[in-house]
C-alpha cells in the first residue's frame, strides 16, 4: 500500500473534466484507490465522490493506493496532479 | 339547495363523462414521469428483479450517452464532449450505483424512486460546495437521473402505490398503467384524452368507477391533493368545491351508496322472472384482474372476453407463449363455466403499432378486426393456437367480430381446421369448443339465417350494430344525439337475428351496452332475447328487474313496438307499460344508468 500527498496544480482544480480524466485512469487500476482531502476520504473510482470533495487549485490531497500495479499508477497519478492545464 | 344555483358561484370545468357516477376525493396527479415523484413499494420477492431491471436500464443509459456523444462528435467542442464522458463516468460510478441498489433493498421501493433519491442526495452534497463551478454540476446529475428513469420506464413499470383512495388525474392513461393501479383505491379518473370507447372508458365502466374525459389544462387547474368532484350526471369537474357544493355532493353520494347497498341485496336473487322463466346473465370482461367479478356477481359464464386488451397490456403483439399463458388463466378460472373469447378486435379506434402506418379515411368501415386478421393469417393462427392449447377443460367458445359476409366464416372455419390439424400433429389434444360470430353489421343481421347454419352461437353487438344501422358515429358530437339502440330499425334487426337463431336452434345473446340499461334491456326481452352478457356489477340490477316481470307473455308487446316510429316513442311506450318496474329501477339506480 502506498500513501502519498499531492498538490493539485490544474487551473480549476478537480472539476468535471479533470475528474473525468482522473476516473479514466483510476478505473484502469485493479485494486483500491482512495482520495482524502481534509480528512474526508472517498473512493478514487467514484466521480461523484471526487467532485464532492470540491478540490480546488493548490489543495493538498492524500492518495492511498493498494494493488499489484500501485507503483506505476502512483507515478501516473503524480503526473496527472502536477499538470497545470 | 339547488345545485344549478350553487354552480353559478362555483367554477367548474366541462368534460365528457365516459363512465357515470359521482365521486369526490383528493386528486392524485399521474405525471408521465410520476415514477420519480412517488415511491412504489415492492415486495421482498420483487427486490432481486427490481435490481436486475435497474442494471439493465443502467446499461441502456450508458449506451444512450455513448450514442449521443458519437452523434455530436464532429459538431461540438471538446468541452461539451467531455460532459458525455463525465455522464458516462457517473453511470459507471460504483458509489452511485451501490447507493441506488442499497436504497432499493433497504427501503423496498422501485428503482425510479431510488434513482431519484440518490441523485437528489448527491445534488445537495455538491450544492454545498463553495465553488460555483461545482454547483453547476448538479444539473448534470439531474439530467442523468432523468435518462436513467426514462430507461427504467421503457423496461416496464412497477405498481403504483396509492396510500389512500384518490381520483387519478392524467393527460391520458394507458392500459398498462390502468392494470398497475390498485382498483379498490381509485375513486375516479379525470383525463384530457380518451373517448367513450377508449380502454380507460371500458375498464372504468366495467369497474363502475366514475370517469370524466376531455378536461383541458388539467395540470394548470388541478394540483396534487386538491379536493375534486366528478359529477358524471352533469359532465363537470369541480376543483376545490365550496362548502355548500361539497355538502350537496356528500348528500348525493350518500344516496348513491344507499342505492348500492340495495343492489347488494339483489345480488342474491336467482335469475328468474316473476313467472318462473330463467334468464342467462354472463359477464363482459377485458382484463384478468376482473375474473373474480364473475363469481362475485354470480354470472353464469363469460359472455365476452375482449382479448385485444392483451395487446395494449404488453404494448405489442404477444406471441403464442404469452397468449397461452394469459388465456389459460381465463379458461381455467372456473372450468365449469363457458368462456367466450373474442379474437382481437383491433382497428377502428383500437390501433396497434403494426397498423399505424396505414391511416384510413373511414377506419370503422375499414381494415378492422377479422378483416385485418385474415390478411395477417399468422396472427390469427397464433391466437387460435393459443386458444386451443389453453382449452384444457373444453369450455372454450371462439367468437369472431365484424363478420359481414358468408365467405368470411367459411374461411375462418377452414383456418380453424388447419390450426387443429397442426396442433394434433404436434400431439396437442383438441378439447370441445364452439364457434360463434358477432352480429354487429347489418348485412350479417339480414342474412343471419344463413350464418345460423354455420355456427354454434350468435352474439349481438348492439353498439356497433346501432352505429352501422343508423350510420352514426357515436364519437362525433355533432351526430351522437342520433345514436340510440332503441331505434325501431335496430330493434327490428335484433328481432330478425333472434328469430333466425331460434329457428336454427342455436343460442343467441346480446353483449352490447343495451343489456345493462334497464329500458333497453326490457326492449330486448320483448324482442325475444333471453341471454345477456354485460358488465358484471349490473347483473343484480337486471335480476331485480326480471323478478318483477312476466316474461312468458312479454313478447306480446312486440306487436305494438314494431309499429312505433322512433326511439322516443319506444321509450315512452316502455315507461308507460312498465311503470312499476321503471319506478322501482329509479329508486335504486342513478340516472346515468337509465
Catalytic residue among A6, A9, A13, A15: A15
Backbone torsion region of residue B291, taken as left when φ is above 0, otherwise alpha when ψ lies between -120 and 50, otherwise beta: alpha
Indicate if A12 belongs to the active site: no
Average pLDDT over residues B255-260: 78
Asked if the Cβ–Cβ distance from A20 to B89 is below 8 Å, we say yes
Is the pLDDT score of B279 beyond 80?
Answer: yes
B83, B89, B126 ranked by CB distance to A23: nearest = B89
Name the average pLDDT for chain B.
86
Is the pLDDT score of B585 beyond 50?
Answer: yes
Residues of the domain holding A58: 2-82
Indicate if B193 belongs to the active site: no
Is the pLDDT score of B157 beyond 70?
Answer: no
Is the pLDDT score of B261 beyond 70?
Answer: yes
| Inter-residue contact B455 to B501 (CB < 8 Å) | no
In the sheet that holds B186-191, the strands lie side by side as: B13-14, B236-239, B227-231, B22-29, B166-170, B186-191, B211-213, B16-19
Of B283, B456, B308, the residue nearest B383 (C-alpha):
B308
Report pLDDT digits (tens) over B56-85.
889 888 888 888 777 766 666 676 777 778
Report pLDDT digits (tens) over B187-223.
999 998 877 777 788 888 888 889 999 888 777 778 8
Q: What's A48's domain CATH number?
A: 3.30.1340.10
Percentage above 70 pLDDT, chain B: 88
A13, A16, A52 ranked by CB distance to B125: nearest = A52
Q: For position A37, what pLDDT does the model report?
A: 92
Asked if the Cβ–Cβ distance from A12 to B133 is below 8 Å, we say yes
Counted domains in chain A: 1
Asked if the Cβ–Cβ distance from B126 to A52 is below 8 Å, we say yes
Contact residues, chain A to chain B, C-beta under 8 Å: 12-13, 15-17, 19-20, 23-24, 27, 42-43, 45-49, 51-52, 54, 56
Is the pLDDT score of B184 beyond 80?
Answer: no
- pTM (global) more than 0.90: no
- Model confidence at B34, pLDDT cuts 50, 70, 90, reads very low
- Model confidence at B453, pLDDT cuts 50, 70, 90, reads very high
- Model confidence at B529, pLDDT cuts 50, 70, 90, reads very high
ipTM for the predicted complex comes to 0.89
Q: For position B250, what pLDDT does the model report?
A: 85
Report pLDDT digits (tens) over B386-444.
999 999 999 999 999 999 999 999 999 999 999 999 999 999 999 999 999 999 999 99
B83, B86, B131 ranked by CB distance to A47: nearest = B86
Higher pLDDT, B311 or B159: B311
What does the alpha-carbon distance between residue B159 and residue B177 come to, in Å, rounded to a whole number?
8
What are the helix (H) ranges across B393-538? 406-425, 442-446, 448-454, 462-470, 488-503, 518-527
Average pLDDT over residues A63-83: 90
Regarding beta strands B457-460 and B433-439, do their DSSP bridges make them parallel or antiparallel, or are they unpaired? parallel
Of B177, B169, B161, the residue nearest B226 (C-alpha):
B169
| Residue of B82, B88, B93 to mutate when probing chain A, most A C-beta within 10 A | B93
Backbone torsion region of residue B46, taken as left when φ is above 0, otherwise alpha when ψ lies between -120 and 50, otherwise beta: alpha
Is the pLDDT score of B315 beyond 60?
Answer: no
How far off is chain B from A24, nearest CA to CA, in Å?
Answer: 8
B 107-166 → A contacts, CB under 8 A: 122, 125-126, 129-131, 133-134, 137, 140-141
What does the alpha-carbon distance between residue B139 and residue B123 come to, in Å, rounded to a whole number?
8
Asked if the Cβ–Cβ distance from A42 to B126 is below 8 Å, we say no
How far off is chain B from A50, nearest CA to CA, in Å?
Answer: 10
How far off is chain B from A45, nearest CA to CA, in Å?
Answer: 7
Amino acid at each position: 500500500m502506498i500513501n502519498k500527498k499531492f498538490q493539485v496544480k490544474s487551473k480549476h482544480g478537480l472539476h468535471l473534466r479533470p475528474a473525468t480524466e482522473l476516473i479514466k485512469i483510476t478505473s484502469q487500476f485493479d485494486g483500491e484507490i482512495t482520495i482524502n482531502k481534509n480528512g474526508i476520504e472517498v473512493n478514487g473510482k467514484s466521480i461523484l465522490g471526487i467532485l464532492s470533495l470540491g478540490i480546488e487549485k493548490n489543495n493538498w490531497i492524500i492518495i492511498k493506493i493498494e494493488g499489484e500495479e500501485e507503483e506505476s499508477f502512483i507515478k501516473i497519478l503524480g503526473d496527472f496532479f502536477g499538470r497545470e492545464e | 339547495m339547488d345545485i344549478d344555483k350553487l354552480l353559478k358561484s362555483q367554477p367548474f370545468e366541462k368534460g365528457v363523462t365516459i363512465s357515470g357516477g359521482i365521486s369526490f376525493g383528493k386528486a392524485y396527479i399521474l405525471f408521465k414521469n410520476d415514477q420519480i415523484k412517488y415511491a412504489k413499494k415492492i415486495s421482498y420477492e420483487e427486490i432481486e428483479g427490481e435490481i436486475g431491471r435497474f442494471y439493465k436500464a443502467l446499461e441502456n443509459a450508458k449506451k444512450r450517452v455513448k450514442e449521443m456523444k458519437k452523434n455530436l462528435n464532429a459538431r461540438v467542442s471538446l468541452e461539451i464532449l467531455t460532459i458525455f464522458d463525465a455522464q458516462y463516468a457517473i453511470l459507471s460510478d460504483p458509489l452511485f450505483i451501490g447507493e441506488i441498489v442499497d436504497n432499493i433493498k433497504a427501503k423496498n421501493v422501485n428503482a425510479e424512486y431510488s434513482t431519484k433519491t440518490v441523485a437528489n442526495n448527491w445534488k445537495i452534497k455538491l450544492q454545498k460546495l463553495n465553488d460555483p463551478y461545482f454547483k453547476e454540476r448538479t444539473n448534470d446529475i439531474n439530467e442523468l437521473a432523468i435518462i436513467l428513469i426514462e430507461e427504467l420506464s421503457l423496461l416496464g413499470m412497477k405498481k403504483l402505490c396509492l396510500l389512500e383512495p384518490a381520483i387519478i388525474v392524467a393527460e391520458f392513461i394507458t392500459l398498462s398503467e390502468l392494470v398497475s393501479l390498485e382498483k379498490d383505491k381509485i375513486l375516479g379518473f379525470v383525463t384530457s384524452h380518451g373517448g367513450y370507447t377508449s380502454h380507460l372508458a371500458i375498464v372504468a365502466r366495467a369497474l363502475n368507477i366514475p370517469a370524466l374525459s376531455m378536461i383541458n389544462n388539467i395540470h394548470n387547474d388541478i394540483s396534487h391533493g386538491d379536493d375534486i368532484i366528478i359529477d358524471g350526471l352533469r359532465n363537470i369537474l369541480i376543483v376545490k368545491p365550496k362548502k355548500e357544493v361539497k355538502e350537496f355532493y356528500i348528500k348525493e353520494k350518500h344516496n348513491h351508496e344507499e342505492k348500492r347497498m340495495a343492489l347488494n341485496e339483489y345480488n342474491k336473487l336467482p335469475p328468474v322472472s316473476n313467472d318462473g322463466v330463467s334468464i342467462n346473465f354472463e359477464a363482459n370482461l377485458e382484463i384478468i384482474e376482473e375474473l373474480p367479478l364473475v363469481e362475485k356477481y354470480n354470472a353464469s359464464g363469460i359472455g365476452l372476453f375482449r382479448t385485444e386488451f392483451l395487446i395494449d397490456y404488453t404494448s405489442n403483439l404477444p406471441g403464442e407463449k404469452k397468449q397461452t399463458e394469459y388465456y389459460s388463466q381465463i379458461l381455467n378460472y372456473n372450468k365449469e363455466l363457458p368462456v367466450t373469447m373474442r379474437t382481437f378486435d383491433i382497428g377502428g379506434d383500437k390501433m396497434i403499432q403494426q397498423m399505424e402506418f396505414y391511416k384510413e379515411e373511414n377506419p370503422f368501415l375499414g381494415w378492422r378486426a377479422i378483416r385485418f386478421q385474415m390478411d395477417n393469417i399468422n396472427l390469427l393462427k397464433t391466437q387460435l393456437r393459443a386458444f386451443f392449447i389453453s382449452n384444457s377443460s373444453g369450455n372454450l367458445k371462439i367468437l369472431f367480430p365484424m363478420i359481414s359476409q358468408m365467405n368470411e366464416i367459411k374461411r375462418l372455419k377452414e383456418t380453424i381446421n388447419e390450426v387443429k390439424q397442426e396442433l394434433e400433429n404436434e400431439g396437442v389434444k383438441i378439447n370441445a369448443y364452439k364457434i360463434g360470430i358477432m352480429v354487429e353489421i347489418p348485412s350479417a343481421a339480414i342474412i343471419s339465417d344463413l350464418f345460423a347454419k354455420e355456427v354454434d352461437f350468435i352474439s349481438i353487438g348492439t353498439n356497433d350494430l346501432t352505429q352501422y344501422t343508423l350510420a352514426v358515429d357515436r364519437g362525433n358530437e355533432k351526430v351522437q344525439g342520433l345514436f340510440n339502440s332503441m331505434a325501431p330499425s335496430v330493434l327490428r334487426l335484433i328481432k330478425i337475428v333472434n328469430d333466425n337463431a331460434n329457428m336454427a336452434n342455436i343460442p343467441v345473446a346480446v353483449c352490447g351496452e343495451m343489456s345493462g340499461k334497464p329500458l333497453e334491456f326490457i326492449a330486448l326481452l320483448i324482442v325475444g332475447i333471453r341471454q345477456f352478457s354485460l358488465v358484471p356489477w349490473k347483473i343484480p340490477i337486471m335480476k331485480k328487474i326480471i323478478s318483477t316481470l312476466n316474461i312468458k307473455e312479454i313478447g306480446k308487446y312486440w306487436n305494438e313496438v314494431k309499429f312505433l316510429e322512433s326511439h322516443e316513442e319506444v321509450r315512452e311506450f316502455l315507461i308507460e307499460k312498465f311503470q312499476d318496474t321503471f319506478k322501482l329501477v329509479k329508486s335504486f339506480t342513478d340516472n346515468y344508468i337509465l
